[in-house]
Chains A and B, each alone.
Chain A
Amino acid sequence: MTARTVISEYVLEPGTGKAIELLTGQILRIEQVEGGQCADFNAFNLHDYKEFMHCGRTRTVHGFHPTAGNFLWSAPPRERAMLYILEDTVGRNDVLFPRCSAYVYEAAYGFAVHTNCHDIQAEAQREYGLTPDDVHDSFNLFMCTGVDQDGHAFMTRQTTQAGDHVDLLALMDVLAVPNVCGADVMKTSNFALKPLKLTVFAATAADMALVPSTPKLESQRTPKDFKISAIKSDRPLRRDPAYRAEFPNTPIRITDLPVALSPDEVALFNAVKRSDIYGDDDAAALRDLLFSWWEERFLQAHAGAPAIGGKS
């Protein structure tokens, strides 16, 4: 097998982050130096920063802990696979928690100033002209999280060791921005700040062959498809007096569909209908049954997620 070519290496010191131009077909390895360190990560389309990684879409497709074999997706209406997680020696990453922020450390711990992922990201992104408002929800590498019985996200300690790493393969030219998580008074990084090593490789043909194809659909829109394609350049919001609403598929029109059921079918229906939700409204219960059946029989994705070739 052909070895990967190293393009660059960099050590992220505690309290810092680095914006890296990661071109299509390049791999960013984020690696533990000592072990036990969380990394936060942002990513933007290098040629259009308005397309950025979307943790919400990523978690609906891949769950709360994306790992090797999963993609990092951009936000609607772009919804493209930006990066592919090629390798993950730990398998415990997070898309539940937002980045930590100065507000968290002031409100919860009383710090006037404290290392925090939002401000570290903002400072790293400033090298490319982005503002603190451009920092987005982070993909949190090596962060050990879950959801408790009350529905709150929790974090706990991690067990990563020196050399553990995650390899992110760029599927488009991106500005990749990892940072050493600033949390030293939480369990996130086992109560200490440690460096992380960054290595950029050129992917080999074997690496590229591992990437599954994803659907290319009309609904993946870009600025050329927008009614307003220019980026708004001032801060106040003002109503456009010429605006006329053009919501798709509206107005919603209702059509009656009478369905005659035999006594046997009525018996089947009465046995399974969701009276707990719909009461005596058999029409609503039968509509629920129809589309619940459709989901069971035809849906190729988790509910609410796009189908990308299996329930990954």
Chain B
Amino acid sequence: MTETVITLRLNQQQLELMDRTIAQGVAADRVALVRLALREYAAVRQAEITAKPAP
């Protein structure tokens, strides 16, 4: 399976927010947090599309 690597460029403040979020038990590490964000963000958008009445 081919993976695609996207390299985020984050400053120390953004990393601090990520690390405090991880410390709450939301994700295991920074990469896992980004992947969780992607899945949840996409799920919300998909739910919005599904909920929208047909024109």
Binding site for B on A (CB under 8 A): 249, 252-263, 265-266, 268-269, 271-272, 282-283, 286-287, 289-294, 296-298
- B14 interface residue per 8 A CB criterion: yes
Q: What are 26 residue pairs bridging A and B, where the CB atoms are less than 8 Å apart in the complex? A: A252-B13, A253-B11, A254-B9, A255-B9, A255-B11, A256-B7, A256-B9, A257-B7, A257-B30, A258-B8, A258-B31, A259-B5, A260-B3, A261-B38, A262-B1, A263-B3, A265-B35, A265-B39, A268-B38, A269-B6, A283-B6, A286-B8, A289-B37, A292-B41, A293-B40, A293-B41
Task: Give Cα A282 to B38, complex, Å.
Answer: 13
Interface of chain B, main secondary structure? helix
- B51 interface residue per 8 A CB criterion: no
Residues on A with C-beta less than 8 A from B37 are 289-290, 293-294
Task: Give Cα A261 to B39, complex, Å.
Answer: 11
Task: Give Cα A262 to B35, complex, Å.
Answer: 10
Choose among B1, B9, B15 the residue that contacts A263 (Cβ–Cβ < 8 A): B1
Residues on A with C-beta less than 8 A from B21 are 294, 298
Contacts A266-B4, A287-B9 given; indicate if A259 touches B31 (C-beta within 8 A): yes
Interface of chain A, main secondary structure? helix
Choose among B12, B18, B45 the residue that contacts A272 (Cβ–Cβ < 8 A): B45
Residues on A with C-beta less than 8 A from B10 are 254-255, 257, 287
Does A290 lie within 8 Å of B8, measured CB to CB? yes
Binding site for A on B (CB under 8 A): 1-15, 17-18, 21, 30-31, 33-35, 37-42, 44-46
- CB closest residue in chain B, given A267: B42
- CB closest residue in chain A, given B9: A254
Residues on A with C-beta less than 8 A from B38 are 261, 265, 268-269, 286, 289-290, 293
Residues on B with C-beta less than 8 A from A287 are 8-10, 14
Residues on A with C-beta less than 8 A from B30 are 257
Contacts A249-B12, A257-B30, A261-B35 given; indicate if A296 touches B4 (C-beta within 8 A): no
Closest CB pairs A-B (n = 8) = A293-B37, A268-B42, A293-B41, A260-B3, A257-B8, A258-B7, A290-B37, A259-B34
Does B7 lie within 8 Å of A283, measured CB to CB? yes
| A-B contacts besides A259-B35, A296-B41, 10 pairs, CB < 8 Å | A254-B10, A256-B8, A257-B15, A258-B8, A259-B6, A260-B31, A261-B4, A269-B38, A283-B9, A287-B8
Nearest CB of chain A from residue B6's CB, rounded to whole Å: 5
Does B6 lie within 8 Å of A263, measured CB to CB? no
Does A271 lie within 8 Å of B45, measured CB to CB? yes
Task: Give Cα A22 to B37, complex, Å.
Answer: 49
Task: Give Cα A259 to B44, complex, Å.
Answer: 21
Task: Give Cα A263 to B3, complex, Å.
Answer: 6
- CB closest residue in chain B, given A296: B44
